[in-house]
Structure 1
Amino acid sequence: MMYRIPFDRVNWTTSSFLIGTALIALIGVPIYLFKVGLDWFQFAMFFFFVTATMMSITVGYHRLFSHLSFKAKLPVKLFTLVFGACAFENSCLNWASDHRRHHKHVDHDEDPYDISKGFFWAHIGWLLFKLNPEPPMDNVADLRKDKWVMWQHKYVHWIGLVVGLIIPTILGYWFNSSQGLDPWMGALGGFLIPGVARIVVAQHCTFFINSLCHTVGRQPYSTSHSARDSAVMAFLTFGEGYHNYHHEFQHDYRNGVKPWQWDPSKWTIWTLSKIGLADGLRRVPDGRILLAEMGEARRKAQK
């Protein structure tokens, strides 16, 4: 029903980027793979860039800057700010502001990606259309005091363009040239696979936390909000899928608190603390977690 689209509210820049990169990934990448194929260097670049990008979102944008779950030394800050920019999910300042508002108003109208407005809205619709009214960035005063956060906020698109697209393209050109292969095909592969395809994969993994993890999954800690735990999404997002726990205990540096739960972001933060690159890890006491589980189990049994 095209006539119902509120064209006056379309965020044309963001919409063009999200739709354009998705089309390139869905059409251009398969054609390239069919015509040229995938070499080990392109695969290695994709693996590195997708890991660096997604870990920078989970460890940096999310747990470090949005929730202040731990304190990090400058190398960790810079790494997560630079590679977080490569996700093209806006600046850390914008991301944290939206995410803090999401937690404060979850499932209500002021929640930027409110699941009660539908799966599509929570997943990507809130980005395609301008929020009405646009929420003020009045909840990140602490981050405005961080000169590196503000540096990234100012140059985020240039950082993402250079590090996330131009460098993989140059590396693809260099590798093919060094192997006596067509360097321009290498450049194209670097642009398409560790560049565009990696952006689309990283973005939609983040988006699925906002949509799928508020729709499908378990609620072992609370049913007072829509957030759910999903082991599948935890695997795909470096531990972010344990979303019911996260909404109940948002300042914990961990999302997967059980020994068997997949949470590489938690393990990374813990490791950084052991080598002197992080400290002040915030952790909910085990007794409080157990009480939440027991209380929720009792409420469900009484229904």
Structure 2
Amino acid sequence: MQKPPLIWLTTLVFAITFLVSVIGVPWYGLTHGFSTTLVVAMIATIGFAGISITAGYHRLWAHKTYDAHWSLRILFALGGALAVQNSALHWSSDHREHHKHVDDNDKDPYSAKRGFWYSHIGWMLREYHASRYSNYDNCKDLQNDPVVMWQHRNYLTLTLLTTFGWPVALGLMVGDIWGAVLLVGFARLVINHHTTFFINSLAHMWGKQTYTDRNTARDNGWLAFLTFGEGYHNYHHIFSADYRNGIRWWHYDPTKWLIRSCSWLGLTSNLKRTNGFQVEKARLEMQFKALRNEGGISCETTMERLQHEYDVLIAKLRQYYQVRKQFLDARAKTIAEQMHMPTLNELQKQVEDLRQAFREHRHQFRELVNASLRKPSEQLN
């Protein structure tokens, strides 16, 4: 099958920036050296451009996981232009198609099933999906956002001003224009590009399928570190409406921290979170599915009992979250109306008891599984 024609401008941009970064930057560093100011500026610029993609392009515009003040949206629009990953409208259109048709080689713009090279960068080098961008039908909501449309109309100008203007201005300030252009211009851009591209490629190939195996997405803490929290990709693909990617307190997700912090300042609002029952249920389902697929339990009676205990566990989890919701609603009403507390205290006690019961049953279930795997034909008959 004949490949579509190359997009020469995109191909040249990727090729030239990469070659300058791997050849020109080391040469200049060895012969002239880079000041500490330029190194710090490069790291800061990587952060600004990267977080504009993750918090702006991805979680704000592509998935609408929260609302943002116009001033924050303008910052993300400028940072997105600095990242040189096309306009927010175009980027979001691609990403929505990816989620809608994930792993479909014909419809997913960067399907990982077509290999690392294609999903990482190859899909952008040829006219694979040119016909989709006549009117951005899947982003009609974004076409009502004046900041998105302003950036889309002026994307080339904004990109030139930020990508070239900022390094040159910095170079004039520190007295090293070539050093600033090479380090903060070229090297920074290549790092921003390929760390972002890792989510399209490596995050569908390397890591754990914690919540679903219905697509190739993986959770990977190393990739989260490189991409401002985007590496918890298996979670994201099943719960894409959540403003968080890393949901545990120990998960490295600075994008989540930024969005949450901005809510305290009134810059973000309507932060969407997935119901805890759905998250825990998906995780338990994957664990139980892995147990069944391992083939370590051959006794039918044992497997039936494990299925029963699993069903009871899910029922307890559901009951806990139902009562927890009643408690949170009652607490909000009590605070708002300054009502008496007895009913609220009873609900709180019920929530605590149900949570403890669920945890105890989960512990027993895990012990049951481990015992069954050790002696599948003896333990539970």
Mapping of residues 162-177 of structure 1, within 5 Å = 162-176=161-175
Deviations 1:232-272 (A, max 9, x none): 00000000000000001001000000111100000000000
Deviations 1:87-133 (A, max 9, x none): 11000000000000000000002000011111100000000111156
**SS state at 1:9 partner:** coil
Q: Which residue of 1 aligns with 2:247?
A: 257
Which residue identity does 2:115 align to in structure 1? G
Q: Among residues 270, 278, 281, which one is paired with 1:288 in the alignment?
A: 278
Distance 1:189 1:5 in 2: 43
Q: Which residue of 1 aligns with 2:82?
A: 86
Mapping of residues 47-126 of structure 1, within 5 Å = 47-108=43-104, 109-126=106-123
Q: Which residue of 2 aligns with 1:181?
A: none
Which residue identity does 1:154 align to in structure 2? R
Judged with a 3 Å threshold, the aligned counterparts in structure 2 of structure 1 residues 57 and 132 are, in CA distance, closer, same or farther, namely closer
Given that 1:28 and 1:192 are in contact with CA atoms closer than 8 Å, whether structure 2 keeps it comes out as yes
Cα RMSD (Å): 1.2
Q: Which runs of 5+ in 1 are unaligned?
A: 177-185
**SS state at 2:197 partner:** helix
Distance 2:35 2:2 in 1: 42
Q: Which residue of 2 aligns with 1:247?
A: 237
Report the CA distance between 1:29 and its aligned residue. 0.4
Q: Which residue of 1 aligns with 2:300?
A: none
Asked if residue 238 in structure 1 is aligned to residue 228 in structure 2, the reply is yes
Q: Which residue of 1 aligns with 2:9?
A: 13
Asked if residue 266 in structure 1 is aligned to residue 233 in structure 2, the reply is no
Distance 1:206 1:163 in 2: 19
**SS state at 1:139 partner:** helix
Q: Which residue of 2 aligns with 1:33?
A: 29
Segments of 4+ in structure 1 off by > 4 A?
Answer: none
**SS state at 1:218 partner:** coil
Q: Among residues 210, 213, 216, which one is paired with 2:200 in the alignment?
A: 210
**SS state at 2:138 partner:** coil
Asked if residue 199 in structure 1 is aligned to residue 199 in structure 2, the reply is no
Distance 2:197 2:28 in 1: 26
State the TM-score, normalizing by the size of structure 2. 0.75
The percent of aligned pairs where both chains have the same amino acid is 40
Deviations 1:145-182 (A, max 9, x none): 11110110011121121112222212112212xxxxxx
Distance 1:247 1:52 in 2: 25
**SS state at 2:64 partner:** coil
Q: Which runs of 5+ in 2 are unaligned?
A: 294-381
Report the CA distance between 1:200 and its aligned residue. 0.6
Distance 1:118 1:271 in 2: 38
Q: Which moved more, 1:48-57 or 1:148-157?
A: 148-157
Q: Which residue of 2 aligns with 1:129?
A: 126
Distance 2:22 2:144 in 1: 41
Mapping of residues 137-156 of structure 1, within 5 Å = 137-156=136-155
Given that 1:46 and 1:194 are in contact with CA atoms closer than 8 Å, whether structure 2 keeps it comes out as yes
State the TM-score, normalizing by the size of structure 1. 0.93
Asked if residue 229 in structure 1 is aligned to residue 219 in structure 2, the reply is yes
Given that 1:166 and 1:191 are in contact with CA atoms closer than 8 Å, whether structure 2 keeps it comes out as no
Q: Return the index of the structure with the highest Cα Rg.
A: 2
Deviations 1:9-67 (A, max 9, x none): 10111111111111111111011101111111101210111000000000000000000
Asked if residue 279 in structure 1 is aligned to residue 269 in structure 2, the reply is yes
Report the CA distance between 1:5 and its aligned residue. 8.0
**SS state at 2:288 partner:** helix
Distance 1:169 1:26 in 2: 20
Report the CA distance between 1:134 and its aligned residue. 2.9
Judged with a 3 Å threshold, the aligned counterparts in structure 2 of structure 1 residues 281 and 132 are, in CA distance, closer, same or farther, namely closer
Distance 1:266 1:206 in 2: 17
Distance 1:283 1:167 in 2: 36
Report the CA distance between 1:135 and its aligned residue. 2.2
Given that 1:71 and 1:280 are in contact with CA atoms closer than 8 Å, whether structure 2 keeps it comes out as yes
Distance 2:58 2:255 in 1: 10
Distance 1:262 1:299 in 2: 27
